[in-house]
Each structure stands twice: as C-alpha cells, then as structure tokens.
C-alpha cells in the first residue's frame, strides 16, 4: 500500500544523486496509459485566478478545464502509447561503421502515397564504408552499449522531434530533471524555442525551478552518458535537377537537420533530402540522397527555407500561422527570421527594402515564409496533389 499525504496526493519519490534519466525507480517515458485506461486526476495547486490546476497521473497530462475546474478527461486521454514492437533496441558497440539518429517528421512536400514519416530515423553500419544495415524509422529507440547502463536508455519520438525544432532555430539544450520527482524534462512547442528556468514536470505535474535558464531535452543526458561528440557537418556535394513527370510515383522533400547522435568518423552532409519514386507502388525510392541544391521543374528550392518550414510545420503553436506574403512596397517575398520565425506577429519587416508591413487577411499574427507559395507552384506541375500530413502534437504555450 502506498502512503498518502494529508491532501490525498501520492508522495513523489525523492530524487537520487544518480542522474534520474537512468534511475531504476523511475518508469520509462514509454510506460504511459492508453485510451483504454481511465484518467486518474488529482489537484496540483491553486492558480492565481482562484482556480485549480489538475493533473492526470495515468496519462501524465494536464486535466484542467477552462476556468480552473476539473476536466472530464485529461489532454492525453485519447493518445495512443508507443507499442513494444515500435521500439528498436540498438547496440551502439555492434555498429563500428557508425550509427546516426535523427528526429523524423513529415516531408514539407509529398506527392507519393507513402505513409507519413514520424519518429526516429536510424542509420547503422557494421563497418566503415559498409552498406547501411539499418535505414528505418521507429517511434522509439532503446540504446545500449557505449558506457550506458545495462538497462539502456530510451529516446522517444517526441524527444527527437523537439530536438530537431530547437536545433533548427539555433537553441542549445541542457539536461533538466524535476526537483520533485527526478523526471527527465522535455520542453515542447513554444518552450522548445524559449529558454526558461521554471518548468512544468512531464512526470508528476508539479512546477519547479532549475538552477539555470535553458531548454530541457532528455537526449542531452543520453549524449553525455555515452560521451557523444559534436560531429562535423558539411554542405552536400551533389546537386539535383529533375522533373516531376519523370517520377510518377511521386517525390518527398525534407530539410536536413543535424543528427542528435552520430558515431561515425565521416562528416554529416546537410542540404535538402529527396526521395523520388519512378514507379507507382514502389516501396524503395529511385533517388534517396541529400543535395546541396535542388531544382524541380525549373524551380530552385532554398535549403534554409525548407529546413525552417519543416520545423515550423511541427510546432502546434504555429498551426495555420505560417504564410507566404509579399512586401507591398517592393514586392519582395516576406521572410521572417530570428525570433519572428517562430513567434507570430501582425507586422513584418521586409528583408529587401527594410520597410514594415501588416499581415494581409483576417488572421493577423502569423509568420512569413516564402516556401509555401513555392510549393503551391510545384503542386500545379505534379502528377497528383500532395499529401497533407499532420502530427497533431499537443500545444504547449504560456
């Protein structure tokens, strides 16, 4: 029987001195209830407006309704947990040729009928210069070897996806653990691009203050534990110039982002990653590579814009708020950079003439990116309409 406090809350375990990322008393981040399990909602604290903040211990999610009242179910009550068969166990010591892991998200442009890509993309080679033994995407990866504890360490898809977001927008991450329960903390959505000290624990639902200002991601603890080094990233040497009509099976386009784990000796190539399928129904693409420059049907894509749009498309706080628009003074395509690339605003500064202009249309607070308009032009020349993929991650904002 678990002892109860006077307020009927189950006491949280006291964090040990060992990094709790590997502490045996903590459940895995994958051990969470699914839709078949009822919510277990408790009150956490009183809010400043007089309401109460509630937390579901079964699904580890907020359960506060509007006005600070108890919701009928928590935000994650209908989420499908990661199944055991969707987790790859990867021995880092086995693959002497190198292992590379990336956060996998939907392509910014996809005229195939392939399934949506999400999770952790894995490359692994047994020996240097040997063919890839692994080139697959999984929802989670359990890493063993390389000095990690015998039980290994698990990276979930959400850790990898938000590592990509923070990296694309130029934010370093740190390892953060809850001071109440020792849970390794992940900053998501708005918090993945805004360094801060006060965090809401993903494990116990309590607010806590870290000793430094930063963005938390459990992957940093895993990188430190296996002594991962920062690897060299170079522009891809190849270029690509194709027509969509030559690939009736469709094409997929992603921006490259640095691997969160790279154990090989060769540098990583950055640019635009393309899958192109010659035939309908093919499982393996005819072209599968990263290119420094990509031209499709005479339209040349900007690798930086592709990379940024890929990250913007992932963030729930930017859903429906990334638009293409032209400066009314000089006609140059609007392109919000810096903080404006992830914080929607009603006014934009032209990168060409320096003039400011308001957002046209009814939705005022948006982010300007020229690439959506370019992709619309590409779609007009495509053999079929592009797929519209949605990750449907939960929004996390102030």
What per-residue confidence (pLDDT) applies to 6? Answer: 37
Minimum mean pLDDT range among 3-12, 67-76, 344-353: 3-12
Minimum mean pLDDT range among 144-148, 166-170, 251-255, 294-298: 144-148
pLDDT tier, 149 (very low <50, low <70, confident <90, very high otherwise): confident
pLDDT tier, 397 (very low <50, low <70, confident <90, very high otherwise): confident
Structure letter (DSSP) for residue 386: P
pLDDT tier, 4 (very low <50, low <70, confident <90, very high otherwise): very low
- Give dist(CA 142, CA 345) in Å, integer: 40
DSSP-derived 3-state class of residue 380: helix
DSSP assignment of 75-95 equals: TTTTPPPPPGGGEEEEETTT-
Q: pLDDT by residue (tens digit) across 297-342?
A: 999 999 999 999 999 999 999 999 999 999 999 999 999 999 999 9
Q: Are 288 and 368 in contact (CB under 8 A)?
A: no
What per-residue confidence (pLDDT) applies to 25? Answer: 54
- Give dist(CA 243, CA 196) in Å, integer: 46
Q: Are 298 and 267 in contact (CB under 8 A)?
A: no
**Dihedrals phi, psi of 388, to nearest 5 degrees:** -110, 105
- Give dist(CA 166, CA 1) in Å, integer: 42
Q: Are 365 and 92 in contact (CB under 8 A)?
A: no
What per-residue confidence (pLDDT) applies to 343? Answer: 97
Query: Residue 122: pLDDT above 60?
Result: yes
Q: Are 274 and 291 in contact (CB under 8 A)?
A: yes
Question: What are the residues facing 234 on neighbouring strands?
Answer: 269
What is the Cα gyration radius of the chain?
Answer: 23
| Closest to 177 in 3D by CA, of 224, 143, 209 | 209
Question: What are the residues facing 252 on neighbouring strands?
Answer: 110, 275
What per-residue confidence (pLDDT) applies to 33? Answer: 86
pLDDT tier, 28 (very low <50, low <70, confident <90, very high otherwise): low
Burial bucket for residue 212 (CB in 10 Å: 0-12, 13-18, 19+):
exposed
Minimum mean pLDDT range among 8-12, 92-96, 132-136: 8-12
Query: Residue 242: pLDDT above 80?
Result: yes
Strand-pair category, 41-46 with 52-56? antiparallel
Instruction: Please enumerate in sequence order all residues whose Cβ is within 8 A of that of 19, keeping only pairs 6 or more positions apart, or say none.
Output: 175, 177, 221, 225
pTM more than 0.95: no
Instruction: Please enumerate in sequence order all residues whose Cβ is within 8 A of that of 245, keeping only pairs 6 or more positions apart, or say none.
Output: 381, 383
What per-residue confidence (pLDDT) applies to 183? Answer: 93
């Amino acid at each position: 029987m678990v002892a109860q406090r006077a307020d009927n809350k189950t006491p949280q375990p006291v964090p040990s001195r060992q990094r709790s990322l590997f502490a045996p008393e903590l459940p895995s981040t994958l051990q969470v209830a699914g839709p078949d399990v009822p919510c277990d909602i408790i009150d956490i604290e009183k809010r400043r407006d007089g309401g109460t903040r509630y937390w579901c211990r079964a699904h580890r999610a907020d359960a506060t309704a509007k006005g600070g009242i108890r919701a009928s179910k928590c935000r994650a009550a209908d989420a499908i947990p990661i199944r055991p068969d969707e987790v790859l166990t990867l021995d880092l010591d086995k693959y002497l040729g190198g292992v590379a892991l990336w956060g996998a998200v939907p392509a910014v442009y996809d005229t195939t009928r392939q399934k949506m890509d999400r999770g952790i993309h894995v490359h692994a080679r047994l020996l240097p210069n040997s063919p890839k033994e692994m080139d697959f995407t999984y929802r989670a990866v359990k890493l063993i070897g390389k000095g990690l504890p015998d039980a290994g360490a698990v990276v979930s898809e959400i850790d990898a996806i938000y590592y990509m977001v923070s990296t694309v927008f130029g934010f370093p991450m740190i390892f953060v653990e809850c001071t109440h329960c020792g849970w390794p903390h992940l900053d998501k959505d708005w918090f993945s691009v805004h360094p801060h000290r006060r965090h809401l624990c993903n494990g116990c639902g309590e607010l806590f203050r870290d000793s430094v200002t930063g963005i938390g991601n459990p992957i940093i603890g895993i990188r430190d534990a296996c002594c991962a080094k920062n690897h060299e990233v170079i522009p891809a040497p190849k270029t690509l110039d194709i027509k969509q009509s030559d690939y009736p099976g469709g094409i997929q386009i992603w921006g490259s982002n640095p691997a969160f784990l790279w154990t090989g000796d060769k540098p990583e190539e950055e640019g635009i990653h393309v899958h192109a399928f010659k035939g309908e129904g093919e499982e393996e693409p005819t072209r599968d590579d990263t290119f420094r420059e990509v031209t499709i049907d005479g339209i040349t894509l900007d690798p930086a814009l592709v990379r940024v749009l890929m990250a913007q498309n992932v963030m729930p706080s930017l859903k429906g708020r990334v638009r293409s628009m032209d400066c009314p003074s000089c006609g140059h395509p609007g392109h919000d950079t810096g903080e404006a690339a992830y914080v929607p605003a009603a006014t934009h500064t032209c990168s060409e003439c320096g003039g400011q202009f308001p957002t046209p249309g009814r939705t005022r607070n948006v982010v300007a990116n020229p690439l959506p308009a370019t992709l619309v032009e590409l779609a007009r020349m495509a053999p079929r309409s592009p797929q519209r993929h949605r990750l449907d991650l939960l929004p996390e904002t102030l």
